[in-house]
Amino acid sequence: MTNTERPARTRFAPSPTGYVHIGSMRTVIFEWLWARHTGGQFVLRIEDTDRNRYVEGAEDQLKESIRRMGLMWDEGPDVGGPFAPYKQSERLDLYHRHADELLAKGHLYKCWCTPERLKQVNEEKQARKEPPGYDRHCRNLSPEERAELEASGKQYVIRLAVPLEGETIVNDLIRGPITFQNALQNDMVMLKSDGFPTYHFAVVVDDHEMQITHAMRADEWIATSPLHVMLYQFFGWEQPVWVHLPNVLGADGKKLSKRHGDTAITDYLDKGYLPEALLNFLALIGWGYDETTEIMTRDELIERFTLDRISPSGGVLNLEKLNKFNGIYIRQLSTAELTERLLPYLADAGLVGAEPSAAERARIEELVPLIQERLVVLSEAPDLLRLVFTAPDSYDHALLIPKKLDASTTQQALHAATAALRELPSWEVAVIEARLRSLTEELGLKVGDLFMALRVAATGSKVSPPLFETMHALGREETLTRLERAIASLGAVGTAA
């Protein structure tokens, strides 16, 4: 099978041990895009055979992460499909049937070695400065010794009988042929003593049974990929296209870690990164359409995504670039769409009700244009809009009084501005701006000085959405009330002096 564009079947097969992190989500995106690009299917399979690492509730978190990114699976838990069940713990009979087949052919063998013996073997190898690994003790048992152990009822595992000579070639689509010397491979465990398969055995059986055409996974699996190729050869099955994806790297060029930002994808979504921005951004880590195109819609990514454009080298997680992407996508939203996305954050902050009323929605939709150009993530909205809902209860005079003015001059300027605003024929942004600009000339003040004093008086901060739009959003009466409170505050300073 080659990198053709016939319908592909890809799969994401996570272990339910935690959240879907940035690196894993990038893998999901590549798999999903390739399935969509070729008109194929994207399969979700839960690899829950490692019962020691199983985390209760992790499966639901994994599925929710993918759903929130808008990357629904075509087959898998919750949706079913022709190759159900899609949880490995429910497919044990299948693995045992296939294991029996390879046992009969001599490609697998039973191993009764205890954990204590295995530990001793590795300690002795370490002392001899040899690489760790099983010494194939049980592979070399005589028929009589094997029969005696069988009759004893002792627990055993089933190992792969790796050829002792020759080489195994993994034909990776991105890197080309990768050659491994068989003599350097370990006889890895395929079935554990509890009857559950290891990843190495189950992934091959399931990929074959589910007709997966492209095995796309992180390049950390390259080291053990010859074992998977061997299993395909032992079974006589057609191999999938092997696609080992480059790592997502931190700024220092090393594999991504939590220190670099490799946290759960839900952490990014909860903070207010848009799914469409994350999809676009992550698709470009290790893949590119051309030298210049970056912003692409979901449909454009599906149309343009091909495997030959995946780089063999890792791509860096650039959070500044992600912030840029998110800002672009936020500004592309309509006012109504952005309002809907902001309401949960505003509700959590207590600025609207848990189930916002029609009046609250309308009010937020009126305020959204104030902050849309400034938002980087949605979670910033409550702090940017809080000033509209909550008047300053006191004023920092170091902020209220411009550096080149004193308290008395500032107070007089705010008095004049209050009077001018009270007399306006209408409360429109253009009318407010025109009158206040003309007032600066009348008072002989610099525009920046008057406007900064007005901004602090109206909002309590030197940083806020655009001044005139903010005043318009506050309304005439609220704006005048706040200005008068600031004037009173300056009067108290004068009295104290």
The set of catalytic residues is 258
Give the phi and the psi of residue 329 in degrees, each rounded to 5.
Answer: -70, -35
CB 392 within 8 A of CB 460: yes
Cite the beta strand spans of 91-175 per DSSP E: 108-111, 157-160, 167-172
Cβ neighbours of residue 29 closer than 8 Å, sequence gap 6 or more: 69, 71, 279, 282, 283
Residue of 176, 178, 317, 315 lying closest to 247 (CA atoms) = 315
Strand partners, 11: 43
| Phi and psi, residue 336, nearest 5° | -65, -40
Work out the burial of residue 454: count CB atoms within 10 Å of its CB; fewer than 13 is exposed, 13-18 middle, 19 or more buried.
Answer: buried
The single-letter code of the amino acid at 421 is L
Residue 232 token pair: 């395909």
Element (H, E) at 310: none
Q: How far apart are CA 34 and CA 294, in angstroms?
A: 18
DSSP secondary-structure letter at 312? S
Which residue, chain included where needed, has tokens 């959405």?
465
Could you tell me whether strands 157-160 and 108-111 are parallel, antiparallel, or unpaired per DSSP bridges?
antiparallel
CA atoms within 13 A on the CB side of 478: 14
Instruction: Enumerate the β-bridge partners of residue 80.
Output: 76
Other C-beta atoms closer than 10 Å to the C-beta of 192 total: 18
